[in-house]
Structure 1
Amino acid sequence: MKNFIFAFVFALISTTAFGQNTEKTYQLSSHILDVSKGMPASGVTIKLEKYNETNKTWTSVEEKVTDKNGRVPDFLSNDKSNLGIYKLTYFTSDYFKKMNEKSFYPWVEVVFEITNKEHYHVPITLSAYGYSTYRGN
């Protein structure tokens, strides 16, 4: 029993003391900035899908909601390979309806390809009648 306790305590100390990061990390994040207000767009649902090149279909990966800063920091865990073509769908219509605003785009779709293990940040700037996107960092 003494050896077990020693091994457990050593593992705990070495994980924190020697800089091993046990915190889960993510490869993909997104952000929405409402440029008409100069504020983050919180409460917007974003759906992530992956493209299957064999049968030319999209498969749902996960769906998240932007936080108070307009961000979703935790798409695609780094604990596996995430190479491929993805689509983020930003459901913007409900966001504008909550503010009693009409909008032209009921949703925004952004398709992109993950080609390596780097972090990918895909933000959009948004207004009721326009949007823009780019690869951020």
Structure 2
Amino acid sequence: MTFTAPENESLTKTNVPCRNAEGVVSGTVFLRNQKGGENEKWGRLTSHADGVLVLCFYDAEFDVDPVARYVLLGFTLCVQELDDGGRLFELRHANQVNESSGISLHFRVAHSGSAERWYKMLKRGLGNGITIFP
């Protein structure tokens, strides 16, 4: 059997933007829980056109719905460099009404190259209020 061309010859090739294009950082992160343990998640940090960062955590890389989603407005960032080249990120948001109950996210990015991309994106999106611990 020989190859026959498709009937619809007007199909054109389109470029699909890369999932990790400018404005998106994603990769395996280790989300710390309240008991001190870590849960492996797929993290995706997206920068919208207005500069607002949205951080989503998924159980797996290709999941459609995130298990947690945070709009990073009013957050401060603390970063700790780890011995293995990774970084520990802490995002804090103080409740304006009741300062005792705020949001605190701790997650670790183990790979140094990926950790650097996460850091640059968070630094660019959050601006001031970044603390770095050696």
* TM-score, normalised by the number of residues in structure 2: 0.30
Which has the larger strand fraction?
Answer: 1
* TM-score, normalised by the number of residues in structure 1: 0.29
Which has the larger helix fraction?
Answer: 1
Higher RCO structure (Cα 8 Å, ≥6 apart): 1
